[in-house]
Chain A
């Protein structure tokens, strides 16, 4: 009777060992799924899910399935810290994606950096994020990489010499966008006729636009979110301003043209992602997303999709032993070497240049797509016709 029992024991041991070999790779996703930033956070989560399904359907990474541990950080800094700690110490994930907003990353990033685990932002565009430390990564392209290209392209297209600027001065996103625009305009030696501001929630911009009109600018540079931008466009046309607009990342929303209709014709916008990019990997992503969520993907979903593929590529070279800390460190060391051609185009990392010279994290090194608005739609700009 002892023989079968022994076999049973061996079989059980083999099963256990097998289970350990083909373990799930736990990856944390901390995004704002409720609250004001939910429109971004949900798209990001969906992008991750599409990528995870795809990777797991192909057998995972070296035979290990990817398991996403998704938590809501509500777009608040305390919540982001709590979620990061839960993922690091309770769920024992290998790395964390998120959080959604740059502000939350400033609060939660140091927690991950201190615990020596990668925090990978897919939507944090503010400057200084990767100054937090060597465990902070992002594949979101900073405004300071996109706007110079956008402005230069528009200047070449229209022969612009002087511009007017309008921006929201009480919002971290539009204010930091303005700071970048200011520098770009100075670098490219464009005269600024007037600089106007508004605050979030304003609906009437006629006072500012009247001043802008008096300066007769060749173009209006606008660091605004989609809702305000749409109103600014409509009201400037009704005041008789014919100059085209140049926008930042905030313009990258279909909502802009639902409201402004044809008032935004000729607007130049830069974006890290293009829905019409014909590369097979992008077509694949757009179709898979549509099939799963019955909706069109956006830039945030595309960046999340690419981010998980970047991580999967790095994981291929990581030996997953039982030692969690070693695995986290190995993943951190493997990530900077990754370069892929994803839905947002060719991608690689670039070591961040920090303010105080200490070793920082890694920023995205990517060329943006430039759009011109034609017939109320984003059209990829392909040169002057």
Chain B
């Protein structure tokens, strides 16, 4: 038992990180499911993290209220910026959301209350394993139900062809906005959870690099199902830790693994058709 205790003490942060990254990957999966390539999720995560940290540090709110605020504030921001920007599509939307991310980062960098480039430290460690687990389970359940609902079908038709979808009577703009706002909420809550087990946040963590990391997790795992983004998040979080024995070279190996996946499994790690084909070929040979 002692061995197990030690193991848990060592790796609980890693397990928490997997949970938070899974939430982030799901948040971008939601916008991707609606055909939107949005890179704003790192910024929404940052807003959630800063709002929750400030409420904990300055106002002393209870953790449940803090987490709720970490979801609500990014949702409101998403509502405001979503209305004008979601008219854009493809790379133009990606550019607009990227610019939004930079704006958020620079605002946080220059405000007094956010601690500027030095960030906020001494954030209480309120996040427990079961908080993350419960929120993740709830999110997965909600998204699974959503997929099978009228709204989920509408998302799918918008992703395939938004002109055809609008001709069938689907309010494209509203559905896109809904996906965007819901994604922002999930990302914000993930940010709030993350801030409360790492003691410290700074603007550096919510920049372009992290936006791309989140996207990579979803794409690597495969966006065909809900399990995909979670698988991507797990692998990308664990890989650097598993490769620790490679010392200085692990960054290189991490990169090589990603390149190989993108080259040979462009639709993500789990692509049923390809795997079936592989087995079929194996069977014949």
* Residues of A in contact with B (beta carbons under 8 Å apart): 33-35, 71-72, 77-79, 81-82, 85-86, 88-90, 103, 106-107, 109-110, 126, 128, 131-132, 169-172, 175-176
Q: Roughly how many angstroms separate A107 CA and B122 CA in the complex, as a whole number?
A: 8
* Residues of B in contact with A (beta carbons under 8 Å apart): 6-7, 9-14, 17, 106, 109-110, 116-119, 121-122, 125, 198-200, 202-205, 240-241, 244, 247-248, 250-251
Chain B binding surface, main DSSP class? helix
Given contacts A72-B247, A109-B199, 12 further A-B contacts (CB under 8 A): A78-B17, A81-B198, A85-B11, A89-B10, A90-B6, A103-B119, A106-B121, A106-B199, A106-B200, A107-B199, A131-B122, A175-B117
Say whether, besides A86-B10, A170-B109, A110 and B202 are in contact (CB < 8 Å). no
Contacts of B116 in A (CB 8 A): 169, 175
Whether B117 lies near A171 (C-beta < 8 A) is yes
* Smallest CB gap from A168: residue in B: B117
Whether B117 lies near A110 (C-beta < 8 A) is no
Contacts of B12 in A (CB 8 A): 85
Checking A35, A85, A106, A171 against B9 with a beta-carbon cut-off of 8 angstroms, the contacting residue is A85
Q: Roughly how many angstroms separate A89 CA and B13 CA in the complex, as a whole number?
A: 13
Q: Roughly how many angstroms separate A71 CA and B200 CA in the complex, as a whole number?
A: 21
Whether A34 lies near B6 (C-beta < 8 A) is no
Chain A binding surface, main DSSP class? helix
Contacts of A170 in B (CB 8 A): 106, 109, 117, 203
Whether B6 lies near A89 (C-beta < 8 A) is yes
Whether B13 lies near A82 (C-beta < 8 A) is yes
Q: Roughly how many angstroms separate A92 CA and B2 CA in the complex, as a whole number?
A: 13
Contacts of A89 in B (CB 8 A): 6-7, 9-10
Whether A172 lies near B13 (C-beta < 8 A) is no
Q: Roughly how many angstroms separate A132 CA and B200 CA in the complex, as a whole number?
A: 11
Contacts of A78 in B (CB 8 A): 13, 17, 198
Q: Roughly how many angstroms separate A81 CA and B200 CA in the complex, as a whole number?
A: 11
Checking B10, B200, B248 against A90 with a beta-carbon cut-off of 8 angstroms, the contacting residue is B10
Whether B121 lies near A169 (C-beta < 8 A) is no
* Smallest CB gap from A176: residue in B: B118
Contacts of A81 in B (CB 8 A): 13, 198
Q: Roughly how many angstroms separate A40 CA and B205 CA in the complex, as a whole number?
A: 21
Checking A34, A82, A106, A110 against B251 with a beta-carbon cut-off of 8 angstroms, the contacting residue is A34
Contacts of B11 in A (CB 8 A): 82, 85
Whether A175 lies near B13 (C-beta < 8 A) is no
A313 CB to closest chain B CB (Å) equals 30
Contacts of B199 in A (CB 8 A): 106-107, 109-110
* Smallest CB gap from B115: residue in A: A172
Contacts of A86 in B (CB 8 A): 10
Whether B110 lies near A169 (C-beta < 8 A) is yes
Q: Roughly how many angstroms separate A85 CA and B198 CA in the complex, as a whole number?
A: 13
Interchain residue pairs A-B with the least CB separation, the first 7: A106-B200, A106-B121, A89-B10, A107-B200, A89-B9, A172-B117, A172-B118
Interchain residue pairs with CB less than 8 A apart (23): A33-B247, A35-B251, A72-B244, A72-B250, A77-B198, A77-B200, A82-B11, A82-B14, A85-B9, A85-B10, A85-B12, A88-B9, A88-B10, A89-B10, A90-B10, A106-B122, A106-B199, A110-B199, A126-B118, A170-B106, A172-B119, A175-B117, A175-B118
